[in-house]
Amino acid sequence: MFEEVKAILAKQLRRDPSQITLQSDIKKDLGADSLDILQLLMRMEDDYGIVIPDQELAGFKTVGDVVAFLDKQPKQ
């Protein structure tokens, strides 16, 4: 899952994939803003057929937070 999230983030934020770790802060380390994070989550919703609850949306700080959330989702 981490590799998938990393690939999407690298393409979306035009970052070298090697710069992205589970500990990377999406805003501070990767330079994303709130729209970038929404774009990432929408991509996840589309790819995994899930709807991320609104209350979860603001809680993603690091790449690891996103990966942990997706790992908990039932496989489609």
Provide the binding-site residues for other proteins, judged by CB under 8 A: 12, 14, 33, 35-36, 38-39, 42-43, 45-46, 51
C-alpha to C-alpha distance for 37 and 20, rounded to whole angstroms:
15
Supply the angle between the helices 2-13 and 34-48 in degrees, to the nearest 10. 130
Q: Which is nearer to other proteins, 22 or 48 (CB)?
A: 48
Known catalytic residue: 33?
yes
Q: How far apart are CA 62 and CA 27, in angstroms?
A: 8
Q: Nearer Cβ to other proteins, position 13 or 22? A: 13
Q: Would you say 33 or 73 has its CB closer to other proteins?
A: 33
Select which of 33, 46, 65, 71 is catalytic: 33
Catalytic positions, written as ranges: 33
